[in-house]
Amino acid sequence: MNFDFDLVVKSFPLLLLGAGVTIQITALSVSFGLLIGMFVGIARLSKVKLVKFLATVYVDFIRGTPLLVQIFLIYFALPMIIGQRIDPFIAAITACSVNSGAYVAEIFRAGIQSIDKGQMEAGRSLGMTWSQTMRFIILPQAFKRIIPPLGNEFIAMLKDSSLVSVIGFEELTRRGQLIIARTYGSFEIWLTVAFIYLVMTLTISRLVDYLERRYKIDDKH
Amino acid sequence: MISIKNVHKKFGKIHVLKGIDAHIKEKEVVVIIGPSGSGKSTLLRCVNYLEEPTEGEIVVDGISLTSESNINKVREEVGMVFQRFNLFPHMTVVENITLAPMQVRKMSKSEAGVIALSLLEKVGLADKADAYPEQLSGGQQQRVAIARALAMRPKIMLFDEPTSALDPEMIKEVLDVMKTLANEGMTMVVVTHEMGFAREVGDRVIFMDEGRIVEENLPDELFTNAQEERTKLFLSKIL
């Protein structure tokens, strides 16, 4: 078979635009996911039974159902309840953030639990409240420890964000599909799409390695 | 100053404290001794509610430990020093000491800093203000932990085996700081295996075993003239 290199060159700028959108969704979703995940992760450790229960239901539901189904639920099912169409971009970001939040929550929970119990006791024995101790003592230490798993979550989200192509949102995968529909260059385009994903994920994992090394050198500061 | 009435503590089915009654007066230094598992650390941790008694009442400085706000009030008045120091590893020595005064007492950074430096002076570590805990020896870390607790200007200090995690040559530097505190009139409750300290500094020694107070007396009396067989047996093994 012939490899149409010309097609790759011609499509590359369009695919790069798609890659930019992919990075955008990923960055936004993981940022919201971090915020959701921090609170839900803490809620999972709450002594208040209802709070803990709700957080657990959320995490279990999200981790126990496919992201693709969650995207459908938000894009197709939710409009029936609220009686209004949802913009694909909003739907994509919402689905990915809510999804990421559950995974990040588990990362936070594990990170917080890995901090020695004596740290909380020391904070409380000094008269600080639970939330003051959490904020100034536990979370800063936990945060450094969870950089590697958070990096993995970022990479996983970057790849999983390809799923939002099904609701017609034009990120990297969807761009590829559209170009193929026009040119029938399946082989060239999918190979190029895969290559672009690979470059992005490898870059992120190098970045995470760097951060991890930096914090390992001055581990505790 | 501290009044403990019929305190029980159960961890699941394990009955750790079986009805403890004790009163600690202002400026008194009370040393609690006993074999491991006797409940002495648990009793100490009940005083600032790190452990919640299953039954009974504890009143500290006129405040009954009932509601969450009362508990925080008591903790502001009661300093605690732990066996494993529990310094905050991501903060410098001075930050360790100033955090609680700034957050709880709402002191300004400079105000808290002045107090921190004078306390570091007191424990002999003025030159370590900007070091991180991991750069200090065990003895130095424990002295910082004492300074951190003192920065809240507590009326009572609790020590939970403060020298048990230290190398032998570092024990003295920590005990010396504690002696100074006792001489200044601090009310102290000390769980320790350091019988020399108990004898020299303690006003009263409480011997605990299997969740009960077996015997309490003046240090010299208890060490030389114990009444209970259990106390004699314990002392014969450690003295």
Helix (H), strand (E) at residue B135 = none
Burial A117-151 (b: 16+ CB within 10 A, else e): eebbbbbbbbbbbbebbbebbbbebbbbbbbebbb
- At A169 the pLDDT is 86
Closest CB to B90 among A116, A132, A221: A221
pLDDT computed for residue A217 by the predictor: 54
More confident residue, B68 or B104: B104
> Tokens 């100074």 sit at which residue?
B180
Residue of B nearest to A117 (CA): B86
* Residues of chain A that touch chain B, judged by Cβ-Cβ distance less than 8 Å: 116, 118-119, 121-129, 132, 136-137, 140-141, 144, 220-221
What average pLDDT does range B35-42 have in this prediction? 92
Mean per-residue pLDDT for A54-82?
95
User: What pLDDT, on the 0 to 100 scale, is given for residue B204?
Assistant: 95
Closest to B82 (Cβ–Cβ): which among A122, A220, A221?
A122
pLDDT band at B117 (very low <50, low <70, confident <90, very high): very high
Question: Where does the pLDDT of residue A76 fall: very low under 50, low under 70, confident under 90, or very high at 90 and above?
Answer: very high
More confident residue, A220 or A175: A175
pLDDT at A134: 95
- Express each pLDDT in B139-179 by its tens digit: 999 999 999 999 999 999 999 999 999 998 999 999 999 99
Q: How distant, in Å, are the alpha carbons of A121, B51, B181, B185, B227 from that of B201? A: 27, 27, 10, 11, 22
Kindly report the nearest CA distance between residue B90 and chain A, in angstroms: 4
In Å, how far is B72's CA from the nearest CA of chain A?
5
Q: What is the pLDDT of residue A221?
A: 47
Confidence band for A218, pLDDT divided at 50, 70 and 90: low
Query: Closest residue of B to A136, CA-based?
Result: B99
In this prediction, residue A212 has a pLDDT band, given cuts at 50, 70 and 90, of confident
CA atoms within 13 A on the CB side of A30: 20
B67 pLDDT more than 80: no
CB B123 within 8 A of CB B142: no
Greatest CA separation for chain B: 55
pLDDT tens readout for residues A146-157: 999 999 999 999
What number is the average pLDDT over the span B46-59? 91
Q: Quote the minimal CA–CA distance from B220 to chain A in Å.
A: 32
Using CA atoms, how far apart are residues A152 and A141, in angstroms rounded to an integer? 19
Give the model's pLDDT for residue B62: 87
Ranking A208-217, B119-128, B208-217 by mean pLDDT, the lowest is A208-217
Q: Could you report the predicted ipTM of this complex, rounded to two decimals?
A: 0.91
Q: Is A6 exposed, middle or buried (0-12, 13-18, 19+ CB in 10 A)?
A: exposed
Nearest Cα residue to B99 out of A116, A111, A127: A127
Identify the band that residue A173 occupies on the pLDDT scale cut at 50, 70 and 90.
very high
Residue entry with tokens 């709450």:
A46
Give chain B positions within 8 Å (CB) of A121. 50, 82, 86
- Determine contact: B67 vs chain A, CB below 8 A: no
Say whether B88 and A122 touch across the interface (CB within 8 A): yes
- Please name the helix (run of DSSP H) or strand (run of DSSP E) that holds residue A67, with its range, or none: helix A67-72
Determine, for residues B48 and A140 on separate chains, whether the beta-carbon distance falls below 8 Å: no
CA distances from B118 to A77, A172, B103, B159 (A): 65, 61, 19, 21
Q: Is the pLDDT of residue A71 over 50?
A: yes
Q: Which two tokens stand for residue A34?
A: 């971090």
Select the residue of B88, B134, B152 nearest A137 (Cβ to Cβ): B88
The mean per-residue pLDDT over the stretch A136-144 comes to: 94
| Closest of A151, A57, A136 to residue B89, by C-alpha | A136
